[in-house]
Structure 1
């Protein structure tokens, strides 16, 4: 069982532990989070847990209603809404990255694409998922926009949770060739086409998630 390390900030440790447990599916949608129980599990007082819960409510992973704290239960409309936000923000990210990307980040994208092709040929689904996220993270970081990075971190967390809670992590899009084209347009500084392709790329991801949600709900 994961427990708190005393010398470090207690509420931040509690926050990260609870967040990880939610994202890994240890807590189910709508499940109640009891402050005293969580504090006992972590071996700390209720104060730091209370602050951690407040932070998770701000993240949107927990909700407070009628005096109870529960794990967020996403709806299909929530999925559509969050992907619409992601679409606009990641299109902005690649537009900014065109003007701010470094040679080191270009090399990171190239290495990512090579690793992605290898994982794809070997059908390593888990590895592909990590490489997919890494590709987008490199572009977002290359935007050099701190506020944009923070907004997209919240969105990424919620999308991950939605996939775990609604389709049990089964969703996985085909993206290899699109990533290659996005990198090509980025390197050529073709902002208009890169921006549009990123929007199409995110929309395709939304279509895939919705398709898998429909399948999961029909079982």
Structure 2
């Protein structure tokens, strides 16, 4: 009896393709390769990515649900880079992270805090003149590990989503302002969590995030200039 060969399951392959298309378009949205206010054309995006329109349509719908896009006629456009909206996102991030540190102080395990400290000590070895994207990645890593230590999956999901939506602005801010005080602030937040001082940890995390909001207007102005210079120039200057 001839041996039967197993063909790839088309139904199983489709979710993988849909996920890849979504990840690519989300990355394009985060980097503002999709320009603010730009109306998106499914056919052009499908051709650009070498796929059919179906996974593109599904990805655009998901990106709209995640806050990257807004409805525009019968399609979508990239959400504008807006000062008020960015401030709202930072305010939401502050609220989420304040609750995370409160929960960590109350119920976080010593092992979870050890993991945060291990990551922090490792990240400190990265030089301050490293690419902005790398420094932001490390900063997000610290905050998201604290969220994991809070042991609340929904808070972690919200924080991850907020980080994605403000990542471009944080790249710009990190490049222009740097991270001189960031590591010291991280150490103080961790120390407060070690002593289970919820009030101090919450006050520190809010102050830590509020400092960044002071640079939002400048970062957006710089960011818009770079967006319209073209993605290649933006990526080269941010080293992303």
Q: Which residue matches 2:203?
A: 196
1:104 to 1:125, Cα distance in 2 relative to 1, 3 A: farther
Match of 2:65 among 58, 66, 70: 58
Q: CA deviation at 1:31?
A: 2.2
The answer to whether structure 1 residue 153 and structure 2 residue 160 are counterparts is yes
Q: Are the counterparts in 1 of residues 38 and 77 from structure 2 also a CA contact under 8 Å?
A: yes
State the TM-score, normalized to the length of structure 2: 0.77
Moved more, 49-58 or 61-70: 61-70
Report the Cα distance in structure 1 between the residues aligned to 2:126 and 2:67, rounded to whole angstroms.
33
Report the Cα distance in structure 1 between the residues aligned to 2:90 and 2:74, rounded to whole angstroms.
30
Match of 1:76 among 83, 88, 95: 83
Q: CA deviation at 1:21?
A: 1.9
Match of 1:29 among 12, 17, 36: 36
Moved more, 136-145 or 100-109: 100-109
Q: Which residue matches 1:117?
A: 124
List gaps (5 residues or longer) in structure 2: 1-11, 227-240
Report the Cα distance in structure 2 between the residues aligned to 1:7 and 1:92, rounded to whole angstroms.
39
Report the Cα distance in structure 1 between the residues aligned to 2:173 and 2:40, rounded to whole angstroms.
21
Post-superposition CA distance 1:84-143 (Å, at most 9, x none): 1111110000111123333432222222332333224x5335443222111101101111
Q: Are the counterparts in 2 of residues 95 and 194 from structure 1 also a CA contact under 8 Å?
A: yes
Query: What pairs with 1:1-219 in structure 2 (closer than 5 Å)?
Result: 7-9=13-15, 10-120=17-127, 123-126=129-132, 127-163=134-170, 167=172, 170-171=175-176, 172-173=178-179, 174-213=181-220
Report the Cα distance in structure 2 between the residues aligned to 1:73 and 1:37, rounded to whole angstroms.
21
State the TM-score, normalized to the length of structure 1: 0.84
Larger radius of gyration: 2
Residue aligned with 1:63, SS: strand
Q: Which residue matches 1:3?
A: none
Q: CA deviation at 1:214?
A: 5.4
1:15 to 1:81, Cα distance in 2 relative to 1, 3 A: same
**Matched positions, count:** 211
Report the Cα distance in structure 1 between the residues aligned to 2:105 and 2:40, rounded to whole angstroms.
44
Q: CA deviation at 1:38?
A: 1.7
